[in-house]
Structure 1
Amino acid sequence: MSARSHRGWVLALTSIASLMVALDTLIVTVALSTIRDDLGATLEELEWTVNAYNVSLAVLLLTGSALGDRYGRRRMFVVGLVAFTVASAACALAPGVGWLIVARIAQGAGAALLMPLSLALLSAAFPPERRGQALGIFMGVTGLSVVGGPLLGGAITEGLSWEWIFWLNVPLGLVVLPFALTRIEESHGADSSLDLAGLVLATGSALGLVWGLVRGNEAGWASAEVVTTLVLGAVLLVAFVGWERRKAHAMLPMRLFRSRAFSAANGAGFLLVASLFGTLFLIAQFLQVAQGHSPLQAGLRLMPWTGCLMIVAPIAGALVDRFGERPFLAGGLALQAAGFGWLALVVAPDLAYAEMVPPLVVAGIGIAMAMPATQNSAVGAVPADMIGKAAGANTMLRQLGGVFGIAVLVAVFAARGGYESPAAFTDGFAAALTGACLLAVAGAAAGLLLPARRTTTAPAAGERTAEVVRS
């Protein structure tokens, strides 16, 4: 198989896998009101329906990346695909909200293999000078989940039932599986050792921090449960950093964070997704609870916002290769902040849809600009043999950002509003939008810390393409 053909297959298959993973983050959003009514779920249980998946995915991402480096990225990609497909069927068969949450945890475990290994396989397949364009296409396909997730979720929920949003993954998984086995070349990371102590410390730290964030709204931020889990997570994080600094073959080499490009990109990516996921959790419910739209109508009304990722991301990815990441990362997050801040100022139960579209489009364009820039900067700031570890860290921090954003913005919503009336929901939603704006502003500030792009000379024929390391 030629190098060009191999790159094409890797781009196609990893993009579909990323689409599946992202779809199950987003397709649930417009079904939340139906799930709340059908299963009698509370606000906390709705939050767990989303975050059980995100928590499992976040705490196991570094494990997934390390397993790929050790046992083969293609092999573990296939294992993740099978696990994700089976868990999706379990979600569809859930008789109650408890079963659904457990099945979502299993889904997240499969996704924890798919996401970092998709990014690692894709980044390794393309040379640095073409990687931004490939990542732009990758994000554009993933953007189909942002466009199609709410819309498809609304259509399925209204036309069939919410269970069918999970059955959708089964045929997709069955189609991708044979091609993943035959069209992706096997690859390993340079470090084939498995850092078991690092895995335990990283997983325990992430779980403790995430549990405290999610439970803070219900149990109380000063409760013994929340304080204990947050402190334990922080202690384990310090222990993980100390262990990784001393270990010769670390799962996540701390020296990567000495690169300003790597650190700034990951900080900005964390805040970008925090602002996005927290808003997405609430906006579909606003359209249904406060404005009385059906799930399908809510999904349709989100398309001007979500459609921007599919359209703008491939263009932005190609421009990133030419002009560098900083203007797209900082500028994109600034637009995201402007869009959410604008919507917070005008939102009302009787807000005309025409008044919602401009701020949603502004925010959507900003998100689409920033996403390929943050990923390209993170994986482009490390040597080729560190791409798998960098991809795992980048994806983990973005997922933790999503959990953090949902937890924080739901806490803001609950403090200022509720489900009692359209006015009450709108009051909470406006406050949450203000919080989302502030998170995006902080992300834009982090994006400004990216170093200026260095111009490199293309390698001579036959030479190995050098990675650009920015510090």
Structure 2
Amino acid sequence: MTSSDHRTAALPEPTAPGSAAASHHRPGTALSVIVGCQLMIALDTSVVTIALPEVQRGLGLSTGGLAWIQNAYMLAFGGLLLLGGRAGDVFGRRRTFAAGIALFTAASLLGGLADAGWWLLAARAAQGVAAAVAAPSAMALIAVTFQGAARVRALSVFSAVTGAGAAVGMLAGGVLTEAGSWRWVFFVNVPVGLALLLVAPRVLAETARRPGRFDLGGAAASVLGMTALVYALIRVGEDGWRDRPALAAFGAAAVLLAAFLAIERRARQPVMPLWLLTGRDRAASYLTQFCLTSAMFGAFFFLTQYLQDVRHYGPLRAGAAFVPMVGVQFAVVRLAPRLMARLGARTLVIAGAALVGAGLLWLSRLSAGDGYATGLLVPFLLMGAGGGLSIMPLNATILASVDPEHSGAASGVAQTMLWTGGSLGSAAMVTVYGSAVSGRDVLPGLDAAFTTGAVFAAAALAVAVLVLRVRH
């Protein structure tokens, strides 16, 4: 199947016998439930970032242990998304969606109650597993619930939440940490999760269950391989390229990821059908998504460090600094469907990648004396506009390139690219930062990290220009 098969994507997926079709009568509420889950998941990639200094003081964690509080979530999330997509196919997407929300709510409660580093680390990993279960079904439920122009509008809202969620999390983390305690960045998910669990069965129709097998070997190889790769990059940033554990981890990552590809070629029902990586437009969309999120998630992490360590902002003020980015991203995403109908998906993706790259290049010239208006506001606006222009067209291109019965797997791969891209991009930028920082002067390291982010954005731009061909 190639991107030319877009006509079949408009066909609705069959629902389970006897399931209520309430989503057709209350589409706004159905979309609110789907987007609410996605916002909760997206927020947790960054809402903890602002609170990390308080977490460190509260639990006595080392710097390395603190880094893994974030990585445990993103690695479990990105690594198990493909298995979560298969679970939706086998058990029904509404049922899988609700199970993921329930686990996420419980894990959030445990995280807020943590009194030791290992406890919080386990809770973050459990949150990542839960997000991997719920997220693929969230995107697939849009494909099932909405058709035609309504699907494009729904995807625009979904993409806005996905793209802006990390930045919104910065603001929410600052508010919760300064107003109460770092524990509230976890507790806030509990009432939200319970509300979603209450409403979801009433407004979302169940999809047909399809018999299938779970590729546990492939899932394990992918998670362990990505974990080893991120661990290696972080070790290199701390101890240099001659560090033996880092080199061993690189070797393990190569073996495990090669084993993953071998397992997927032979598996009767692979967790990631390799044909999803074929098809020019679909493959280009996945790669562009990976590169853009590599650039942007790493930038969020280092912008937080700059605001708090160099500019000496408090948690609330640091979070509020991201508001212009969030605002422009939401505004642009709302315009994206009309722009895509007029200009085509490829044009929007190219423009978006170029704007993100320009914002990161601007950030690479930051100095300690730069004010917010002169040093940060313009790149925030450029990155917000760039993310808003590119995310929805990429998701729409991916979903339009597969039959409805493969939408769960396709959306799982899409979100895998998004979240593993964020994890690996952040780790790569940490490596460059560690090599460039000079004593107590962190600015050379920050400049190098933002330059690395610009390179990721340039790679996304190159793929969009040279490979992506979809127009409308």
The more displaced of 137-146 and 171-180 is 137-146
**2:460 matches 1:448:** no
**2:453 matches 1:436:** yes
Matches within 5 A, 1:370-409: 370-409=390-429
In structure 1, the gaps of 5 or more residues are: 456-471
Matches within 5 A, 1:56-455: 56-127=76-147, 129-142=149-162, 145-188=165-208, 192-218=212-238, 220-345=240-365, 347-355=366-374, 356-417=376-437, 421=440, 424-453=441-470
Alpha-carbon distance between aligned partners in 1 of 2:209 and 2:144, rounded to the nearest angstrom: 10
Alpha-carbon distance between aligned partners in 2 of 1:428 and 1:41, rounded to the nearest angstrom: 23
Task: Label 1:216 to 1:64 Cα distance change in 2 as closer, same or farther (>3 A).
Answer: farther
CA-CA distance at 1:271 after TM superposition:
0.9
Task: Label 1:57 to 1:216 Cα distance change in 2 as closer, same or farther (>3 A).
Answer: farther
1:133–1:318 Cα contact (<8 Å) kept = no
Q: 1:55 aligns with which of 75, 84, 88?
A: 75
Alpha-carbon distance between aligned partners in 2 of 1:181 and 1:214, rounded to the nearest angstrom: 42
Task: Label 1:216 to 1:76 Cα distance change in 2 as closer, same or farther (>3 A).
Answer: farther
CA-CA distance at 1:428 after TM superposition:
1.5
Deviation digits for residues 391-413 of structure 1 (CA, Å, limit 9, x no counterpart): 11111121111111111111122
**2:48 matches 1:28:** yes
1:10–1:184 Cα contact (<8 Å) kept = yes
CA-CA distance at 1:55 after TM superposition:
0.8
CA-CA distance at 1:289 after TM superposition:
0.8
Alpha-carbon distance between aligned partners in 2 of 1:2 and 1:437, rounded to the nearest angstrom: 45
Alpha-carbon distance between aligned partners in 1 of 2:148 and 2:68, rounded to the nearest angstrom: 39
Task: Label 1:449 to 1:8 Cα distance change in 2 as closer, same or farther (>3 A).
Answer: farther
Alpha-carbon distance between aligned partners in 2 of 1:181 and 1:279, rounded to the nearest angstrom: 38
Q: For the aligned residues, what is the CA RMSD?
A: 2.3
Structure 2 counterpart of 1:461:
none
Alpha-carbon distance between aligned partners in 1 of 2:248 and 2:148, rounded to the nearest angstrom: 44
CA-CA distance at 1:329 after TM superposition:
1.5
TM-score by length of 2: 0.89
SS at match of 1:349: coil
Q: Which amino acid counterpart does residue 65 of structure 2 have in structure 1?
A: E
CA-CA distance at 1:226 after TM superposition:
2.8
CA-CA distance at 1:70 after TM superposition:
1.0
Identity across matched positions, percent: 33
1:132–1:320 Cα contact (<8 Å) kept = no
Alpha-carbon distance between aligned partners in 1 of 2:137 and 2:210, rounded to the nearest angstrom: 15
Alpha-carbon distance between aligned partners in 2 of 1:227 and 1:321, rounded to the nearest angstrom: 48
Deviation digits for residues 308-330 of structure 1 (CA, Å, limit 9, x no counterpart): 22222222144335543211212
Deviation digits for residues 142-164 of structure 1 (CA, Å, limit 9, x no counterpart): 45634532222112211211111
Q: Which amino acid counterpart does residue 349 of structure 1 have in structure 2?
A: A
The more displaced of 34-43 and 364-373 is 34-43
Alpha-carbon distance between aligned partners in 2 of 1:22 and 1:298, rounded to the nearest angstrom: 19
CA-CA distance at 1:3 after TM superposition:
5.8
Alpha-carbon distance between aligned partners in 2 of 1:170 and 1:225, rounded to the nearest angstrom: 39
The more displaced of 321-330 and 377-386 is 321-330
The more displaced of 215-224 and 292-301 is 215-224
Alpha-carbon distance between aligned partners in 2 of 1:38 and 1:12, rounded to the nearest angstrom: 35
SS at match of 1:161: coil
The more displaced of 314-323 and 435-444 is 314-323
CA-CA distance at 1:6 after TM superposition:
5.3
Deviation digits for residues 426-458 of structure 1 (CA, Å, limit 9, x no counterpart): 222111111111111111112224543366xxx
In structure 2, the gaps of 5 or more residues are: 1-20
1:87–1:107 Cα contact (<8 Å) kept = yes
Deviation digits for residues 17-47 of structure 1 (CA, Å, limit 9, x no counterpart): 0000111111122222333444444432232
CA-CA distance at 1:277 after TM superposition:
0.9
Alpha-carbon distance between aligned partners in 1 of 2:245 and 2:426, rounded to the nearest angstrom: 19
TM-score by length of 1: 0.89
Q: Which amino acid counterpart does residue 464 of structure 2 have in structure 1?
A: G
